[in-house]
Amino acid sequence: MSNDAKQSSDSSTSAKRAPACTLVIFGAAGDLTKRLLMPALYNLSAQGLLDDDMQIIGVNHGERETAQWRDELTQALRKFAADKASTFHTSELNEDAWNRIAQKLEYFSGEFAEDETFTRLKERLAQQKSGNVVFYLAVSARFFAPIAERLGRTGLLEQKDGAFRRIVIEKPFGTDLASAKELNRCILAHADESQVYRIDHFLGKDTVQSILAVRFANAMFEPVWRREYIDHVQITAAETIGVEGRGSFYEQTGAFRDMLPNHLFQLLGMVAMEPPNSFDAESVRDKKADVFDAIKPLTANDVVLGQYEAGPAGRAYRDEPGVAKDSRTETYAAARVYVENWRWAGVPFYLRTGKRLTERRTEISVQLKAVPFRLFRDTPVDALTPNVYTLRIDPAHGTSFDFNVKIPGPLMQVGAVRSAFDYSDFFAASANVGYETLLYDCMLGDPTLFQRADSIETAWAAVDRVLHPDAELPVHGYASGSAGPEAADQLLAADGRAWRPLTDAIVKK
């Protein structure tokens, strides 16, 4: 997200091409490669941002000819392009643009945890011209350490003659503080921090990157963006989908680990960080690290967990394939978080996420304090709707501001209205599945949007106490298709507050 790179989202003509490199994808046959990496590479190629000499080597266990892998990916991309619900939906796949990617593809059969795969890979990569390689670990988390170790031992992470070697790690990065530390230790034994790109795909979203633009490119927000004016902040990632065939993964993970110390904390970091001195990667990451460092460790009183039961949106979680009949895994998590620093002391950040909720909605609502004085005769101050500034991340892309105006008529009465901005009203939709900027930035060597080892660890440290069995958090039921468990409402009610409705509260009359 350097200034240079950032222009790519505004005007691809002014963005420079990524340098020539070989992208080695571990997990060539996996879902992430098909659904997100290939569509993103296709979009980057269509925008002219990939070097002609770039190569893509897909590593996976199981024998396959390159032609067969290309074929599988071509079918998958055609399917996604035709699917209206897919972020890759286009009127038709541009076969020329896809062929430019397809001819770069090479399948490489090998087990992820066998040394022999890496010695062969080394021989293969020795034939490559630029020496630049990005190793992308699009694999199950249990392979992160074994792959990183073998890449290191085989010398594949050594940077020589000005060429770069980088390693991209997907989430989940650990399952608690101890495991995240161990994974960092293992990776950093073989690579320098500057070579490691830990992905949180929320940071690939334009609407998330725009939080910094909204805050720091406009004069009106910063003066009120502090405890004196802000009552509290709500960060919501509500989903209507269930576990989508990922029951056995989800059983081990749960909503809290899946979303909270990573995606929701990243949003919190963007909202709460101090202005950086520049958009230089380390300046931005330092300021975000300060936020995670200031989070007061969560206790059981700050957290509510829930699990969906049968309801209007379908069957119970416990009836999903791969899920235990007596599962205690949460599909909903809410938390009250305090950032203990000068700017935010005493301002709660309420975070919530859940599957099978009423509506899909990822947003951040910043609620300002009430006005101090009862001036309007027929509208008591406590009946006035507070000012709320909402950053809409998904599926709506934009912002809205709730404020009060005089209701037309002879009486001086005040009513709430909403002023809203939607990206589509101002900008042409750009082809984007959310991984374009991340892949492009990694090839350019810009780590701004990636997580640093220290931030990963401070984020886990903030939640570690509630993750362990002795925390014994109850898991409350909620009907599938509802807004979540009642206990989550009580979490806010105890502070005299309420969650923003998942469906729009202000409607035009």
Interface mask (CB under 6 A) for ligand BG6, residues 119-158, using x and -?
----------------------------------------
171 is in an annotated binding site: yes
* Active site annotation includes 232: no
| In the complex, least distance from residue 240 CB atom to ligand BG6, rounded to whole angstroms | 10
Pairing between β-strand 361-368 and β-strand 348-354 as defined by DSSP bridges: unpaired
112 is in an annotated binding site: yes
116 is in an annotated binding site: no
111 is in an annotated binding site: yes
| d(C-alpha 60, C-alpha 82), whole Å | 27
Query: Of 396, 399, 380, 378, nearest to 388 (Cα)?
Result: 399
| d(C-alpha 265, C-alpha 339), whole Å | 11
Residue (45 or 207) nearer to ligand BG6, CB:
207
| In the complex, least distance from residue 242 CB atom to ligand BG6, rounded to whole angstroms | 10
340 is in an annotated binding site: no
Residue (242 or 348) nearer to ligand BG6, CB:
242
| d(C-alpha 141, C-alpha 176), whole Å | 13
For Cα atoms 75, 77, 80, give the angle at the middle one, nearest 5 degrees.
110
Query: Of 502, 492, 487, nearest to 306 (Cα)?
Result: 487
HSE on the CB side for 151, CA within 13 Å? 31
Indicate the helix (H) or strand (E) that contains 423.
helix 423-426
| In the complex, least distance from residue 380 CB atom to ligand BG6, rounded to whole angstroms | 39
Interface mask (CB under 6 A) for ligand BG6, residues 312-351, using x and -?
----------------------------------------
DSSP-assigned states of every residue in 53-83: T-EEEEEESS---HHHHHHHHHHHHHHHHH-
181 is in an annotated binding site: no
Q: Which residues, in sequence order, are CB contacts of 390 under 8 Å at separation 6+?
A: 363, 364, 365, 366, 399, 400, 401, 402, 500
Residue (239 or 457) nearer to ligand BG6, CB:
239
Which two tokens mark 137? 């670990």
Active-site residue (options: 89, 190, 232, 263): 263
Residue (330 or 394) nearer to ligand BG6, CB:
394
Q: Is 362 in the site for ligand BG6 (CB under 6 A)?
A: yes
Size of the site for ligand BG6 (CB under 6 A): 5
The residue behind tokens 């106490």 is 465
Report how far apart, in Å, the C-alpha atoms of 499 and of each of 146, 232, 259, 495 are. 43, 11, 18, 11
122 is in an annotated binding site: no
Interface mask (CB under 6 A) for ligand BG6, residues 383-422, using x and -?
-----------x----------------------------
Residue (118 or 435) nearer to ligand BG6, CB:
435
239 is in an annotated binding site: yes
| In the complex, least distance from residue 411 CB atom to ligand BG6, rounded to whole angstroms | 44
Residue (276 or 484) nearer to ligand BG6, CB:
484
Region label for 254, one of left (φ > 0), alpha (ψ between -120 and 50) or beta (otherwise): left
| In the complex, least distance from residue 394 CB atom to ligand BG6, rounded to whole angstroms | 5
HSE on the CB side for 412, CA within 13 Å? 4
Which amino acid, 245? G
244-303: which residues touch ligand BG6 (CB under 6 A)?
258
66-125: which residues touch ligand BG6 (CB under 6 A)?
none
Interface residues with ligand BG6 (CB under 6 A)? 171, 239, 258, 362, 394
Q: Which residues are annotated as a binding site for NADP(+)?
A: 111-112, 171
Active centre residues (catalytic): 263
